[in-house]
């Protein structure tokens, strides 16, 4: 029975993604609560998978509005053993959860910084005087919502149901097409190679066209890169690690050839996984 | 007399960068306090410059550990009128500010999420049981430090001096080579073109090698890119805006030619500025 670490507590979008993953594995059987392990940070959830305390960690890697989740990218680069098993794309729709009957009475809004950012225009227009307080997860302060009628939280409708709290407004995200891509990370290669591959590399030195060489390796073979993201090496300002997503499984002959050539134009090259993408509708 | 918006309140690293900029402009004359306008968010500081309430905004754009500051990049892309006047690289060294005499008595640590992240290993090792609470700026809760001996904050040594509070440990950042690059943004072109240029572009469509074409334009002319960062267009997952920094002023003949060619391989191309870099030691 697969065990899953996720950014908890119960009611977070990460939990929804984790449940979707278990249903995908179990041919839509209802997941068992004993399979689900909430962690207080993304780093702790990834560590649990790395050290074998759970089979996999389900963590956010990219949101369509906020961009890359740097903690996940940095942990993937540092990991010795984790491979991407599966990607899950989840639509994100935020609810304003409060016991207040009107917006006027709300003095404080709690949520994760990414959720606050995703509702920034709505908040400025509808709750210009409410204090916005960042929390570790969307559901951290739902107990305050239960206790105090002047408090609101931004979280999923599912969180409101779990904590038995009313939703005053839904959806309140500024962009209707808001979705988050999650990665399922485990210590084994996935059973099928899927349709997509991810890799990361650092460059030998900063020189004209240093990044162009690795990219040409793909372009010359008509291999589509669906994403490129840079992260600092943390050694010095101006040195980067590049994360690349490719629309092909890792055993695609073109890609195998490209990876071979890539070795010679990069400093350190890591294959992060070959996997399928499951889009939740 | 130049007026400057920055991420306040007094004592933040943004204020130190803003003061450095004024000293640079005024040939090292002591800046006048009436030139300095603190704002509670990066977005508000940038808006103040965009709408002419101040001459320039000084905002962080990249940290050597945490990477790009997404709010600044997104605001630059959306801005109609702002140009980069100057870049300032500031070394970042964090102090643990508390009235407690020992680490054992500290129950809560307040700081900006980036500063907490930059001291994560130190905190896990030295204050494993203290609660970490994210704030809008490093100095937001220094009044709590003054009132409660079990509270600590992470901020600059300068902040400790301004608020007249003791420093228990310094430096506590995990990486010794921690520095942040700030941009000075204003509505006019800078008086000198400086040494560096920044631009941003979106791509016409996702196709094999779509990103390679713009990069080849630079590589073919031996123009060095010192940085590339992607941000979501916010339209749909998988569509990006690319931010590029170049080690050449905008009127460099090679670069002028490259920019002309770039028009034909990008969807929307913005020149963000041509400016000098001032490295604070």
pLDDT tens-place string over residues A234-257: 877 778 899 999 988 999 999 999
Beta strand A131-134 pairing with A83-91: unpaired
Q: Do A206 and B215 touch (CB under 8 A)?
A: no
User: Mean pLDDT across the stretch A136-144?
Assistant: 88
Could you say which DSSP state residue B266 is in? -
Q: Do A208 and B227 touch (CB under 8 A)?
A: no
Q: What percentage of chain B's residues is helix, strand, coil (to nearest 5)?
A: 30, 30, 40
- The pLDDT value recorded for residue B28 is 62
Evaluate the omega torsion of the peptide bond into residue B9 and state whether it is cis, within 30 degrees of 0: yes
- Distance CA(A236)–CA(B32), nearest Å, equals 34
Q: What is the pTM of this model?
A: 0.84
Taking CA atoms, A53 is separated from A18, A35, A36, A186, B17, in Å, by 16, 12, 12, 11, 45
Per-residue pLDDT tens digits for A164-195: 999 999 999 998 888 999 999 999 888 788 99
Taking CA atoms, A165 is separated from A14, A58, A152, B58, in Å, by 20, 26, 10, 42
- Distance CA(B201)–CA(B265), nearest Å, equals 10
Domain regions of chain B by residue span: 4-92+178-186, 95-169, 196-275
Residues A188/A189/A194/A199 CA torsion (nearest 10 deg) = 110
Q: Are B163 and B146 in contact (CB under 8 A)?
A: yes
Q: Is B179 on the interface with A (CB under 8 A)?
A: yes
| A179 vs B66, B216, B237: nearest CB | B237
Considering the domain delimited by A95-169, tell me its CATH architecture: 3-Layer(aba) Sandwich (3.40)
Tell me which chain A residue has its CA closest to the CA of residue B179: A237
- The pLDDT value recorded for residue B240 is 87
Q: Which of A212, A216, A277 is the best mutation test for B, with the most CBs of B within 10 A? A: A212
Q: Are A193 and A238 in contact (CB under 8 A)?
A: no
B205 pLDDT above the threshold of 80: no
**How high does pLDDT run on average in chain A?**
90
- Alpha helices in chain A, H assignment, sequence order: 13-25, 42-50, 70-78, 113-118, 120-126, 142-147, 157-162, 212-219, 253-265
| pLDDT band with cut points at 50, 70 and 90 for residue B26 | confident
- The pLDDT value recorded for residue A207 is 54
- Distance CA(A7)–CA(A60), nearest Å, equals 9
Tell me which chain B residue has its CA closest to the CA of residue A175: B234
- The pLDDT value recorded for residue A148 is 96
E strands along B164-215, which residues? 167-169, 179-186, 196-202
B208 pLDDT above the threshold of 60: no
Q: Do A228 and B211 touch (CB under 8 A)?
A: yes
- The pLDDT value recorded for residue B247 is 86
How large a percentage of chain A has pLDDT more than 70? 97
CA distance A184 to chain B (A): 18
Q: Is A55 on the interface with B (CB under 8 A)?
A: no
Looking at domain B4-92+178-186, which of 3.40.50.1000, 3.60.20.10, 3.40.190.10, 3.40.50.150 is its CATH number?
3.40.190.10
Q: Is A89 on the interface with B (CB under 8 A)?
A: yes
Q: A4-92+179-186 with A95-169: one CATH topology?
A: yes
User: Mean pLDDT across the stretch A88-96?
Assistant: 96
Q: Is A238 on the interface with B (CB under 8 A)?
A: yes
Phi (first) and psi of residue A28, to 5 degrees: 70, 15
| pLDDT band with cut points at 50, 70 and 90 for residue B236 | confident
Q: Which of A219, A223, A281 is the best mutation test for B, with the most CBs of B within 10 A? A: A219
Q: Do A226 and B206 touch (CB under 8 A)?
A: yes
Lowest-pLDDT choice from A36-50, A214-228, B201-215, B242-256? B201-215
Per-residue pLDDT tens digits for A72-81: 999 999 998 9
**ipTM of this model?**
0.78
- Distance CA(A79)–CA(A68), nearest Å, equals 18
| Residue numbers in A near B177 (CB within 8 A) | 235-236
- The pLDDT value recorded for residue B83 is 95
Strand partners, B97: B153, B167
- The pLDDT value recorded for residue B17 is 96
User: Mean pLDDT across the stretch B50-65?
Assistant: 94
| Residue numbers in A near B175 (CB within 8 A) | 234
Pick from B264, B275, B259: nearest CA to B200: B259
- The pLDDT value recorded for residue B210 is 76
Per-residue pLDDT tens digits for B66-102: 888 888 999 999 998 999 999 999 999 999 999 999 9
- The pLDDT value recorded for residue B133 is 86
| Residue numbers in B near A67 (CB within 8 A) | 70, 230-232
Q: Do B209 and A231 touch (CB under 8 A)?
A: no
Q: Which residues contact B124 (CB under 8 A, 6 or more apart)?
A: none
| A232 vs B65, B208, B237: nearest CB | B65
Q: Do A229 and B230 touch (CB under 8 A)?
A: yes
Structure tokens at A210: 């240093």
| Residue numbers in B near A216 (CB within 8 A) | 212, 216
The CATH class that applies to domain A4-92+179-186 reads alpha beta
| pLDDT band with cut points at 50, 70 and 90 for residue A28 | low
- The pLDDT value recorded for residue B228 is 86
CATH 3.40.50.150 is right for the domain spanning A196-274: no
Phi (first) and psi of residue A156, to 5 degrees: -80, 160
| B224 vs A67, A207, A215: nearest CB | A207
B207 pLDDT above the threshold of 60: no
User: Mean pLDDT across the stretch A7-18?
Assistant: 91
Considering the domain delimited by B196-275, tell me its CATH architecture: 2-Layer Sandwich (3.30)
Pick from B259, B200, B209: nearest CA to B232: B200
- The pLDDT value recorded for residue A189 is 81
């Amino acid at each position: 029975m697969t065990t899953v670490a996720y950014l908890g507590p119960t009611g977070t979008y990460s939990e929804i993604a984790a449940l979707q993953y278990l249903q995908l594995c179990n041919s839509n059987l209802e997941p068992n609560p004993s399979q689900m392990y909430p962690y207080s940070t993304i780093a702790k959830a990834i560590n649990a998978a790395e050290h074998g305390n759970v089979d996999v960690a389900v963590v956010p890697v990219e949101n369509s509005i906020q961009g890359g989740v740097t903690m996940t990218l940095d942990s993937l680069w540092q990991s010795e053993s984790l491979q991407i098993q599966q990607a899950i794309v989840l639509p994100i729709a935020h609810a304003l959860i409060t016991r207040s009957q009107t917006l006027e009475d709300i003095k404080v809004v709690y949520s994760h910084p990414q959720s606050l950012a995703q509702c920034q225009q709505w908040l400025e227009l509808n709750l210009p005087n409410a204090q916005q307080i960042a929390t570790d997860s969307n559901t951290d302060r739902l107990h305050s919502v239960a206790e105090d009628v002047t408090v609101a939280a931004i979280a999923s409708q599912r969180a409101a149901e779990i904590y038995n709290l009313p939703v005053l407004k839904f959806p309140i995200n500024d962009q209707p097409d808001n979705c988050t891509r999650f990665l399922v990370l485990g210590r084994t290669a996935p059973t099928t190679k899927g349709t997509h591959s991810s890799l990361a590399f650092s460059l030998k030195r900063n020189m004209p066209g240093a990044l162009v060489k690795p990219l040409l390796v793909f372009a010359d073979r008509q291999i589509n890169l669906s994403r490129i993201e840079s992260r600092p090496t943390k050694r010095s300002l101006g040195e980067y690690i590049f994360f690349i997503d490719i629309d092909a499984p890792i055993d695609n002959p073109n890609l195998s050839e490209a990876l071979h050539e890539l070795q010679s134009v990069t400093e350190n090259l890591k294959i992060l996984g070959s996997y399928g993408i499951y889009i939740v509708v």
